[in-house]
Chains A and B, each alone.
Chain A
Amino acid sequence: DTEVTQTPKHLVMGMTNKKSLKCEQHMGHRAMYWYKQKAKKPPELMFVYSYEKLSINESVPSRFSPECPNSSLLNLHLHALQPEDSALYLCASSQGRPNTGELFFGEGSRLTVL
């Protein structure tokens, strides 16, 4: 199994809603990532979990809240988002330490904030 599975594939939410994006991998990887990607732009790193601990937070607004319940799962909780938060949210995983940058990406969750 070399897949990173993300759900939902599409999400439309209002600015007052609370929703979550989910990511799962069963490759035994110990590092998991959230990226945000706008159309025709490179992915922007948001968060990194390494061995289930948050190791990188790229100054992401608190309306985005990551959670890593175990080594296979990564969630991104969304609350009070803004229309400019509409984007493709990509989850990725890698082996962990030592990390060579070989990331395995999911297909992404396309988020639209109304």
Chain B
Amino acid sequence: GEDVEQSLFLSVREGDSSVINCTYTDSSSTYLYWYKQEPGAGLQLLTYIFSNMDMKQDQRLTVLLNKKDKHLSLRIADTQTGDSAIYFCAETTYGNNRLAFGKGNQVVVIP
């Protein structure tokens, strides 16, 4: 798959905002995703954004997309202990069954 880069570890206090970043290299990406994986579980789709959008807000989640810099971010407002997980960004193009995942970013929420 294409290269998708993520930073590795983030520690955040409960109630604060957390921001996870991701860069990708495939400029033809159509869809960009954020998946969450809690310990011992599968991946859960959190949210996604189309490449023709700059921002998407979904309750506590805000996704920002900078196509020029190929940069994707996920902001979690009012972070809760249940947000402790590994977060993977992923990208694909329309009609492609391959998802390219980033390395993942572990978020640890401190009570």
Q: Is B88 part of the binding interface, using a Cβ–Cβ cutoff of 8 Å?
A: yes
Contact of B103 among A42, A92, A99, A108 (CB under 8 A): A42
Binary interface encoding of chain A residues 84-98 relative to chain B, with 1 for a CB under 8 A from any of its CBs, else 0: 000000101010011
Question: A107 to B48, Cβ gap below 8 A?
Answer: no
Contact with B along A16-37 (1 / 0, CB 8 A): 0000000000000001010000
Contact across chains for B90 and A101 when beta carbons are under 8 A apart: yes
Q: Which of A43-51, A63-71, A74-82 contacts B (4 or more CB under 8 A)?
A: A43-51
Given contacts A90-B42, A101-B33, A102-B45, contact A42 B104 (CB under 8 A): yes
Closest to B97 in A: A48
Query: Is B86 at the interface (CB under 8 A from chain A)?
Result: yes
Residues of B within 8 A of A97 (CB): 95
B31, B92, B99, B104: most-surrounded residue (chain A CB, <10 A)? B99
* A87, chain B: closest CB distance, angstroms: 13
On chain A, the number of residues with a Cβ less than 8 Å from chain B's Cβ atoms is 27
Residues of A within 8 A of B94 (CB): 98, 100
Q: In the assembly, what is the distance between CA of A96 and CA of B103, in Å?
A: 25
Judging by beta carbons under 8 Å apart, are A42 and B88 in contact? Answer: yes
Tell me, in angstroms, the Cα distance from A83 to B35 when the chains sit together. Answer: 28
Assess whether B104 is in contact with A40, with CB atoms less than 8 Å apart.
yes
CA gap between A95 and B21 in the complex, in Å: 28
Please, which residue of chain B has its CB at the minimum distance from the CB of A102? B45
A101-B99 contact given A41-B104, A42-B88, CB 8 Å threshold: yes
Residues of B54-111 contacting chain A, CB below 8 A: 86, 88, 90-92, 94-99, 101-104, 106
* Interfacial chain A residues near B90, Cβ < 8 Å: 101
Binding site for B on A (CB under 8 A): 4, 31, 33, 40-43, 45, 48, 50, 55-56, 90, 92, 94, 97-108
